Amino acid sequence: METKRKRLGWRVPWNVALGLGLAGIVLAAALLSAWIAPFDPTRMAVGPRLAGPSAKFLFGTDEFGRDLFSRVLTGARLSLGIGFCAVVSGLAVGGLVGLVAAFAGRLAEAVLLRVIDVLYSFPDTLIALALVAFLGPGIVNATIAIAISLVPFYARVAYGLAAAERAKPYIEAARLAGINSGRLVRVHVMPNIGQSLIVMATLGFSSAILSAAGLSFLGLGVQPPSPEWGAILASGRNYITKAPWILIFPGLAICLTVLSFNLIGDSLRDLADPRRKRTS
């Protein structure tokens, strides 16, 4: 009876519920920011300069009298958009490189793996900084730089997953049946590793958001007056003692967003790995 009750009374783990709840709030804020924001996020002097949180200005105002609540809401759309585009692009390019390295032959494997290892030895942020310094600041260049910085990581992950599949008997049987490498990867390998790649993309999403905020904080990402979270932090660092709310609210938004997607990613990884599942 106890075992039956456990099977029928399945409950969502608290970390999954918390992650989905926080992510839902952030996504809703990003999608509905144009309707929820009470003021134009770039309009100056909508209120007194450096006014504290109040009923009219929930998060206070910044040094130009702009409503901080409206700017943080709109910044969610920018930050999530940069993170999504960077992760999708980095996963597509890195995944393709990893699959080519696993199935294109020994020479291609040796060359690509050496290149991947060299790039992977550098931190993501350092690669993104170097690329933005070369391309120039801006939202498009920042997105491209973050995507490229993620390519070595996803290439390494895709190669590891594809190499594990390559060693399985069904791959050898497919080769003996005359299936070429392209069809083999498309029909047999991708469906088996796609779930794991999506899990890694979810975990990498929070890293992309942090990279975007870091670049904007340094003045190399989204440029003023666009209300990206890192740019808001950069503008408020000079008022940390006089108006700490300029740093608190966008910083809290970054922390909650990163926490939510990390919780979701960890939960998906546990579900995707049979060894982590508990046996009833």
Does a structural domain hold residue 57? Answer: no
What's the domain count of the chain? 1
**13 inside domain:** no
Which pLDDT score, from 0 to 100, does residue 1 have?
A: 43
CA-CA distances (angstroms) from residue 184 to 97, 178, 217?
Answer: 16, 10, 45
pLDDT value at position 275? 55
Q: Does residue 12 lie in a domain region?
A: no
User: Is 80 exceeded by the pLDDT of residue 12?
Assistant: no
Q: Domain residues for 170? A: 63-272
pLDDT score, position 18: 85
Q: What pLDDT does residue 119 have?
A: 86
Distance between CA atoms of residues 193 and 184, nearest Å: 13
pLDDT at 187 over 90: no
* CB contact at 8 A, 27 and 21: no
CATH number at residue 129: 1.10.3720.10
**Residue 158 included in any domain:** yes
- Judged against a pLDDT cut of 50, whether residue 232 lies above it is answered with yes
Is 27 a member of any domain? Answer: no
What local confidence, expressed as pLDDT, does residue 9 receive? 46
Which residue has better confidence, 180 or 82? 82
Pick from 194, 200, 93: nearest CA to 147: 93
Comparison of pLDDT for 41 and 4, the residue scoring more: 41
pLDDT for res 273:
60
> Could you report the per-residue pLDDT of 112-125, keeping only the tens digit for each?
889 988 888 888 88
- pTM (whole model) above 0.75: yes
- Position 11 scores a pLDDT of 62
55 domain-assigned: no
d(CA 150, CA 32): 29
In sign, the C-alpha dihedral spanning 37, 41, 44, 50 is: positive
pLDDT tens, residue by residue, 190-219: 888 888 888 888 888 888 999 999 999 988
Q: How far is the CA of 211 from the CAs of 58, 106, 142, 236, 244, in angstroms?
A: 27, 34, 9, 19, 23
For residue 151, name the pLDDT band (cuts at 50, 70, 90): very high
Tell me which H or E stretch contains 27: helix 14-36
Dihedral angle at the C-alpha atoms of 97, 103, 107, 109, nearest 10 degrees? 50
pLDDT at residue 101 is higher than 70:
yes
> Does 134 fall in a domain?
yes
Q: pLDDT digits over 60-71, tens only?
A: 999 899 999 999
Mean pLDDT in residue range 140-155: 92
Q: Whose CA is closest to 72, among 57, 93, 87? A: 57
**Residue 254 clears pLDDT 80, i.e. is over it:** yes
Whether residue 263 is contained in a domain is answered as yes
